Chain A
Amino acid sequence: MGRTLAEKVWHNHVVRSAEGEPDLLYIDLHLVHEVTSPQAFDGLRGADRPVRRPDLTVATEDHNIPTIDVDKPIADPVSRAQVEALRTNCAEFGVPLYSLGNVEQGIVHVVGPQMGLTQPGMTIVCGDSHTSTHGAFGALAFGIGTSEVEHVLATQTLPLKPFKTMAINVEGDLPEGVSAKDIILAVIAKIGTGGGQGYVLEYRGSAIRGLSMEGRMTVCNMSIEAGARAGMIAPDQTTFDYVQGREKAPNGQEWDDAVAYWKTLFTDDDAEFDAVVDIDASTLTPFVTWGTNPGQGLPLSASVPSPDDATDDVDRVAIERALEYMDLTPGTPLRDVAVDTVFIGSCTNGRIEDLRVAADILQGRKVKEGMRLMVVPGSARVRLQAESEGLDQVFLEAGGEWRGAGCSMCLGMNPDKLTPGERSASTSNRNFEGRQGPGGRTHLVSPAVAASTAVTGHLSSPADLA
Chain B
Amino acid sequence: MEPFIRHTGTAAPLRRSNVDTDQIIPAEYLKRITRDGFEDGLFSAWRKDPDFVLNRPEYQGVSILVAGPDFGTGSSREHAVWALQNYGFCVVLSSRFADIFRGNSGKGGLLTAQVAQSVIEELWTLIEADPSLQVTVDLDARTVRAGDLTADFEVDDYVRWRLLEGLDDIGITLQHSDAISEFEERRPSFAPLTQ
A64 interface residue per 8 A CB criterion: yes
User: Which single residue of chain A is at the shortest CB-CB distance from B104?
Assistant: A145
Q: Say if the beta carbon of B56 comes within 8 Å of chain A.
A: no
Q: List residues 96-138 of chain B with CB under 8 A from any CB of chain A.
A: 96, 98-100, 103-104, 107-108, 117
Task: Give chain A nearest CB distance to B109 CB in angstroms.
Answer: 10
Those of A445-460 within 8 Å (CB) of chain B: none
Residues of A within 8 A of B31 (CB): 35, 64, 76, 78-79, 81-82, 413
Interface bin, chain A? 35 or more
Instruction: Answer yes or no: A434 CB below 8 A from chain B CBs.
Output: yes
Partner-contacting stretch, out of A53-61, A167-175, A342-350, A396-404: A53-61
Which residues of the other chain, A, contact B27 by a CB distance below 8 angstroms? 63, 411-413, 435
Chain B residues within 8 Å of A, Cβ to Cβ: 15-18, 20, 22-23, 26-28, 30-35, 45, 68-70, 73-79, 81, 96, 98-100, 103-104, 107-108, 117, 156-158, 169-170, 172-174, 176-177, 179-180, 183-184, 187-195
Asked if B99 contacts A145 (CB within 8 A), the reply is no
A397-439 CB contacts (< 8 Å) to partner B: 411-413, 430, 432-435, 438
Add 18 more A-B contacts to A156-B180, A248-B194, A433-B22 (CB < 8 A). A26-B180, A35-B77, A143-B75, A145-B77, A145-B81, A155-B174, A155-B177, A194-B73, A194-B98, A227-B98, A261-B188, A261-B190, A413-B27, A413-B30, A430-B74, A432-B20, A432-B74, A433-B23
When chains A and B are docked, how far (Å) is the Cα of A150 from the Cα of B35?
A: 13
Q: Which B residues are in CB contact (< 8 Å) with A119?
A: 191-192
9 A-B pairs in the complex with CB atoms less than 8 angstroms apart: A24-B176, A28-B187, A63-B30, A76-B31, A147-B108, A148-B107, A193-B18, A227-B99, A430-B74
A411 to B74 alpha-carbon distance, docked (Å): 12
Residue of B15, B18, B100, B157 near A143 (CB, 8 A) is: B100
Over the window 284-325 of chain A, the binary record of Cβ atoms lying under 8 Å from chain B Cβ atoms (1 yes, 0 no) is 000000000100000000000000000000100110010000
**A20→B77 contact, CB < 8 A:** no
Q: Which of A249-257, A264-272, A351-359, A365-373 contacts B (4 or more CB under 8 A)?
A: A249-257
Stretch with Cβ within 8 A of B (4 or more), from A121-129, A179-187, A273-281, A327-335: A121-129
- Interface residue? A151 (CB, 8 A): yes
Residue of A nearest to B169 (CB): A151
Q: Which of A26, A129, A150 has the most CB of B within 10 A?
A: A129
A413–B28 contact, CB under 8 A?
Answer: yes
Complex contacts, A318 vs chain B, CB 8 Å: 17-18
Q: Which residue of B lies closest to A41 (CB)?
A: B33
Whether B194 contacts A29 by the Cβ 8 Å rule is yes
Given contacts A82-B33, A144-B76, contact A21 B99 (CB under 8 A): no
Does chain B have a CB within 8 A of A384?
no
Chain A residues in contact with chain B, CB under 8 A? 15-16, 20-22, 24, 26, 28-29, 35-36, 38-39, 42, 47, 49, 52, 54-58, 63-64, 76, 78-79, 81-82, 85, 96, 116-117, 119, 122, 127-129, 143-148, 150-151, 154-157, 159, 161, 193-194, 197-198, 227, 229, 248-250, 254-255, 257-258, 261, 293, 314, 317-318, 321, 411-413, 430, 432-435, 438
Chain B residues near A76 (CB-CB < 8 A):
31
The answer to whether A26 and B28 touch across the interface, beta carbons within 8 angstroms, is no
Q: Which residues of A contact B18 (CB under 8 A)?
A: 193, 293, 318
Cβ distance A184 to chain B, nearest Cβ, rounded Å: 16
| Contacts A39-B34, A227-B98, A249-B192; A159 near B172 (Cβ below 8 A) | yes
Name the distance in Å between A33's Cβ and chain B's nearest Cβ: 11
A228 vs chain B, min Cβ distance (A):
8
Q: Are B192's CB and A248's CB within 8 A?
A: yes
Report whether A250 and B76 are in contact in the complex, using a CB–CB cutoff of 8 Å: no
| Set B15, B35, B158: member contacting A22, Cβ < 8 A | B158
Q: Output the least CB separation between B22 and chain A (Å).
A: 4
Q: Quick check: A38 and B179 within 8 Å, CB to CB?
A: no
Tell me which of A28, A146, A430 contacts B78 (CB under 8 A): A146
Give A40 to B151 CA distance when docked, in angstroms: 36
With A58-B194, A258-B188 known as contacts, the answer to whether A129 contacts B26 (CB < 8 A) is: no
A21 to B172, CA, bound (A): 11
Taking CB atoms, residues of chain B closer than 8 Å to A321 are: 16
Q: Are A29 and B33 in contact (CB under 8 A)?
A: no
Quick one: closest B residue to A197, CB to CB?
B99
Check if A434 sits within 8 Å of B156, measured CB to CB: no
